[in-house]
Amino acid sequence: MFATIFEMLSESICAAPKAELHVHLRGAMPAAFFAELLGKHPAREALADASDRHRDILGSFPHLQPIMEGLLPAEQAAAALYGFKTFPEFLGSYLLTSYFFRDVADFRRLILGVRETLIAQNITYAEITVSLIEYQQRGLPLAEMLEAMDETAAAGPLQVYWIVDLVRDVGPDAALTLLKDCLARKPRSLCGITLGGSEHKVPAREFKEHYALAKDHGLGLTAHAGEAMGPESVWDAIRSLHVERIGHGVRSIEDPKLVDYLVEKQIPLEVCPTSNLKTGVFRSYKEHSVRKLYEAGVPISINTDDPSFFNTTLAEEFEHLEDVGFSEEELAGLLRNGFRHAFRDSGR
């Protein structure tokens, strides 16, 4: 029979060239790749160097225990990893995966696996966020990781650039060391920095020096803000770090003056709707602030954040917006914004 308008729209979004500006490397890890890692690094060995604190945290999540004890076949273990029900459980799953990257070959294969999933979605330009410090903590050398990032950046139909996450939780000193070490090696595929991690624990203003340094080196500036915390955190990122984009920023809606400012200065938000539902920022797509922000004139791109963990794709994110009233023309505009708000030449 005839395809419905919705099906036609879904197909056209799937087929359209798309850009991702806010996607975390390990957050996009295919389940099959995690199963492969479990085969290579049995859980007990991989977790041998876990701190007592991490062991306690991970051990407190029932969905992770069978994985940690090596009780499940690899495929079932990978399914269990993504079977979290609460935000703390998601953080536990995310933390657990960090222990299975034991050498640069694992890191390189992760990049290649993620590239494949992006290409399969007709994503032609991606700025992928990478929390290098988490891999350094597992003993992976920075220089070799940067080489792998450069080597895998521009082969085939997908142009990849990298955004280094300074990770609030590691503190300003460790973050500055990481940034300086990265800059000294001049990776050509590095396009920007961001500030992920615990927004409620470490304020953006502690990273002023980092952002000034990155700016001097021609990097794009974005920071996660207005997700776990309200408008004051977005103001802090704007005033202290002079960011050019905001990661999430969806709670800006709580401050009309901030919304006006974002519109006046045309500061784009990297909006990740499903992520905000899964982490409890909003209860439903209908209650999500994206429509109000859009109607106010705030520049917006649509992204997935951690698509494997949140069981979503970029096309599905657009479909959710269609469900809450965005027209086909408006969705096309949002698709274009993904390219328009890029830090580097996105080819469009």
Contact set with Zn ion (CB under 5 A) = 305
Q: Rank residues 13 and 128 by Cβ distance to Zn ion and give the closer one.
A: 128
Whether 238 contacts 268, CB under 8 Å? no
Whether 36 contacts 27, CB under 8 Å? no
Q: What is the sign of the dihedral through the CA atoms of 256, 261, 266 and 269?
A: negative
C-alpha–C-alpha distance, residues 324 and 335, integer Å: 16
Query: Please, what is the minimum distance in Å from the beta carbon of residue 72 to Zn ion?
Result: 28
Query: Please, what is the minimum distance in Å from the beta carbon of residue 248 to Zn ion?
Result: 7
DSSP percent split of the chain into helix, strand, coil, nearest 5: 55, 15, 35
- Which token pair is 231? 């408008």
Q: Rank residues 9 and 170 by Cβ distance to Zn ion and give the closer one.
A: 170
Query: Please, what is the minimum distance in Å from the beta carbon of residue 9 to Zn ion?
Result: 27
Q: Rank residues 127 and 305 by Cβ distance to Zn ion and give the closer one.
A: 305
Which of 134, 227, 270, 317 is flagged as catalytic? Answer: 227
Measure CA 297 to chain center: 24
C-alpha–C-alpha distance, residues 201 and 146, integer Å: 29
Q: Rank residues 106 and 305 by Cβ distance to Zn ion and give the closer one.
A: 305
Other CB atoms within 10 Å distance of the CB of residue 85: 9
Q: Is 36 a catalytic site residue?
A: no
Nearest residue to Zn ion, by Cβ distance, number only: 305
325 backbone dihedrals φ, ψ, rounded to 5°: 110, 0
Query: Please, what is the minimum distance in Å from the beta carbon of residue 219 to Zn ion?
Result: 17
C-alpha–C-alpha distance, residues 332 and 318, integer Å: 10
Query: Please, what is the minimum distance in Å from the beta carbon of residue 244 to Zn ion?
Result: 16
The DSSP symbol for 216 reads H
Q: Rank residues 231 and 307 by Cβ distance to Zn ion and give the closer one.
A: 307
Residues with active-site annotation: 227
